Amino acid sequence: MSAEDHDDEDEGLELAAEPDQNEEGVPEVSRKVRRRRRRTRPRSKTIAMKRLTREELRLGALMYPPVDIPRPTTRDECRGEARPCPWVACKHHLYLDINPETGSIKINFPDLEPWELSHTCALDVAERGGITLEEVGEIMNLTRERIRQVEVRGLLKLKMGSPSPDELGSELLAQAALAKLDRN
């Protein structure tokens, strides 16, 4: 095979690899290419306490001894603290979540250090006001769909715990009837 034949083969491969073009000469993108979106961040990592050996637990305790510095206990005390928030063990900190039942630790941003997060406190985010599911997902390293599911579940819990409008109406009528009887 000569060098010219080899060049012709390469040109044929390039032509075959080009996507279809429309009348304006703009290549069309298939749906599969458009729909596929890669996660920009690595998924969160969970450390199960049950799976750690005694030696690993001992080393962890030596590496991170308890801190005796008093930390904020109320939102007012916390509001004035430096940001990013240094209190990673706080239940409102966005860097990690601790399951109180199992003791497992979920690191939400395994590729970042706590001081590299743009938002560290869920209460700060809540004070900003309404934001989109996409923004909440980015802040918490979850998908928009997962955020929607959590929102629906939370609204259901609120709905189940509060009385229905019918119940409120009947209670008000009963109170009004009692007040009327008391006046007579």
Is pLDDT above 70 for 15?
Answer: no
Write out 122-169 in H/E/C secondary structure: HHHHHHHCCCCHHHHHHHHCCCHHHHHHHHHHHHHHHHHHCCCHHHHH
Q: What is the pLDDT of residues 100-157, one digit of tens each?
A: 899 899 999 999 998 999 899 989 888 888 899 899 999 998 999 999 999 999 999 8
What digits encode the pLDDT tens for the residues 42-51?
A: 889 999 988 9
- Helices then strands, each counted (H, E), the chain: 8, 3
> Rounded distance, CA 23 to CA 107, Å?
50
Q: Between residues 22 and 59, which one has the greater pLDDT?
A: 59
In the predicted model, is pLDDT for residue 74 greater than 70?
Answer: yes
| CA nearest neighbour of 45 among 103, 121, 115, 97 | 97
pTM as predicted: 0.59
Q: Backbone phi, then psi, for 176, in 5-degree steps?
A: -65, -40
Distance from C-alpha of 59 to C-alpha of 52, rounded to nearest angstrom: 11
Q: Put residue 89 in one of left, alpha, beta given phi > 0 → left and psi -120 to 50 → alpha.
A: alpha
Q: What percent of the chain has pLDDT over 70?
A: 77
